[in-house]
Amino acid sequence: MAPTGTRAAAICAAVLIAPLLAACGSSSSPTSAPSKGNGLAAQSPAAILGAVAAAAKGLHSVHITGSTGTGGRPIALDMTLVANKGATGSMSLGGAGFRVVAVGKTIYISGSDAFWRRFAGPAASLFAGRWLKAPETGQFGSFAQLTNLRELFGKLLIGHGRLTKGDPITVNGVRVVPLTDKAKGGTLYVATTGAPYPVEIYKSGSGGGHFYFSRFNQPATLTAPANAIDINKLG
C-alpha cells in the first residue's frame, strides 16, 4: 500500500498552490515619484496583466520562495522552476520538510525523518534517506501544477476579481506597480523596470502569506535522483 506521506505531500502542494492561483497589500511603503522604467506603471490593470502574460511566455526559469499557513500549521516553499523540464527545491509543512525534484512527467520526493514519521507511520524507516518516485498524475497531481512553470503562470493570471492599480513602490529592491483584488484581500506586484515579471504576491487574512519571484532566466540543472523507490511497485 502506498504510504500516507504521498497523499499528505500532495495535499501540502495543493495548499501551497492556492495563494498563487489568483492575484493575491504588502508591508512595503510607497516612495517618492516613480522612476523611469518600462512604462507599465502608466497602463491599466488589464494591460499590465497582458504584459505579464506575454513576458511569461518567454520565461525559461524562475525561483519562487514564500510561506503561508493552514490549520495553524506554517507552510514554506523554496523552488526553482524550469520551463518544459520540471523543477527542484524544498517545502515544509508544520516544520516537517521534504525535497522535491520534477523531471519530465516524474516526481521525486525525499522527506526528512520528521516528515516520514508524521506521514508514513510504521513505514517511515523504509523511506528514511531515500527518494520516492511517482508519475505526475494521481496523488502527485498537485505537484504537477506547482512544478510546471507555464501552467503555474497561466493560473496566476486568472481567477481574480476587479483589480485596482496602486502607486509604484519598491519590493526587495525592485520597482513595482501593485494590482490589488480588494474582494480577495490580495495584491500582485509587477516589475516596472526591465521585463514585466511578477515580483511578489501577498494575500492577507486567514490562509494568507507572501510569495516572491526572482532569478528570472538563470541557468538551472534538473537531475533525477538515483535508486528512487517506485511508488507503483509498492504493495
Average pLDDT over residues 99-125: 87
Domain ranges of the chain: 4-222
Q: What is the CATH number of domain 4-222?
A: 2.50.20.20
pTM of the model: 0.81
Residues 6+ apart with CB under 8 A from 50: none
Share of residues in the chain with pLDDT > 70 (%): 78
In the three-class reduction of DSSP (H, G, I as helix; E, B as strand; rest coil), residue 122 is classed as: helix
Average pLDDT over residues 208-217: 91
Question: To 10 degrees, the CA torsion angle through 25, 27, 31, 35?
Answer: -70
CA distances from 114 to 79, 133, 200, 229, 231 (A): 20, 19, 30, 19, 20
* Alpha helices by DSSP H, the chain: 4-17, 45-57, 113-119, 124-127, 141-146, 149-156
C-alpha cell at 129: 534517506
* Cβ 34 vs Cβ 168: under 8 Å: yes
pLDDT over 70 at 218, yes or no: yes
Give the pLDDT of residue 96: 86
How many alpha carbons lie under 13 Å from residue 34 in its C-beta half-sphere?
A: 19
Q: Which carries the bigger pLDDT value, residue 64 or residue 203?
A: 64
Give the pLDDT of residue 60: 94
Determine the length of the chain.
235
Query: Residue 18 and residue 77: Cα distance in Å, rounded?
Result: 13
Q: How confident is the model at residue 33 (pLDDT cuts 50, 70, 90)?
A: very low
Most confident of the following: 58-67, 124-133, 202-211: 58-67
Average pLDDT over residues 158-186: 88
Planar angle of CA 124, 129, 133, nearest 5 degrees: 80
